[in-house]
Amino acid sequence: MSDEPLPAGVERRTIGGRERLATRGEPVYGEPTDGEWRAWDPSRSKLGAMIDLGMDVGLEGGERTLYLGAAAGTTVGHVADFAGPTYAVEFAPRPMRELLGVAADRDRLFPLLKDARRPETYAHVVESDLDLLVQDVATRGQAAVAVRNARFLGDDGRLLLAIKARSEDVTADPEAVFSDVRSRLSDAYRILEDRRLEPHHDDHLGIVATPR
């Protein structure tokens, strides 16, 4: 838990007898609720973990957002509760079906069944000059995906990136993987902060960066 300011629309509230991160919206994954507020579980969300651990994510609320690796909408549902228009890219049809249900309750969430390695296939739909790019694809080549999608961010935009070490190389030392990712990202980004996401997620690195 930390004193970093939270984006408008994200609060620490007592739900179910303890203080938790929360956003206002329809429940998505059986999370505890209190009135309109629903708990944001950092152990099920890399972005939730980054915020809970006090990383300076630089969000204010209302950001125009591209989210890569949306899965069934656990995290992007929270993002769409506090952000502006939120484009959610996912390439697997099965989680996409659930994501469509999450979007049905959120008029700012736009699911796209697309491959994040091929941004040219959604560049005609997604706005440019975005405020925020969130990425959690957990597949090999995570840095390359972030670099390819930098084109959507405005000069002052933010990248909030989760890197899963085992997705790059199950046998490698996670610190060696993270060091390689930092170096590859430097083609397109300046890293502002990074930290490991334990105890919420083992062998993951959270990165806050801005375009070069």
Ligand X SMILES: C[S@@+](CC[C@H](N)C(=O)[O-])C[C@H]1O[C@@H](n2cnc3c(N)ncnc32)[C@H](O)[C@@H]1O
* Binding region for S-adenosyl-L-methionine: 74-75, 90-91, 115-116, 136-139
Closer residue to ligand X (CB): 156 or 198: 198
- The answer to whether 45 contacts ligand X (rule: CB under 6 A) is yes
Among 42, 69, 119, 206, contact with ligand X (rule: CB under 6 A): 69
Q: What are the structure tokens assigned to 165, written together?
A: 């070490």
Known binding-site positions: 74-75, 90-91, 115-116, 136-139
Within a 13 Å sphere around the CA of 168, how many CA atoms are in the beta-carbon half?
23
- The answer to whether 102 contacts ligand X (rule: CB under 6 A) is no
Is there a contact between 155 and 128 (Cβ–Cβ < 8 Å)? no
Site for ligand X in 133-172 (CB under 6 A): 136-139
The minimum distance between CB 95 and ligand X, in angstroms, equals 5
Among 40, 82, 87, 91, contact with ligand X (rule: CB under 6 A): 91
- The answer to whether 31 contacts ligand X (rule: CB under 6 A) is no
Sheet-wide strand order for 10-15: 10-15, 18-24, 37-39, 33-34
The minimum distance between CB 48 and ligand X, in angstroms, equals 8
> Which CA distances in Å does 99 have to 74, 106, 113, 123, 205?
9, 11, 10, 20, 25
- The answer to whether 2 contacts ligand X (rule: CB under 6 A) is no
**Could you give the CA distance from residue 164 to residue 39 in angstroms, rounded to a whole number?**
24
Which has the closest alpha carbon to 32: 49, 18, 50, 48? 18
Closer residue to ligand X (CB): 17 or 170: 170
> Which CA distances in Å does 141 have to 116, 118, 156?
11, 13, 25
Q: Which residues bind ligand X (CB under 6 A)?
A: 45-46, 69, 71, 74-75, 89-92, 95, 115-117, 136-139
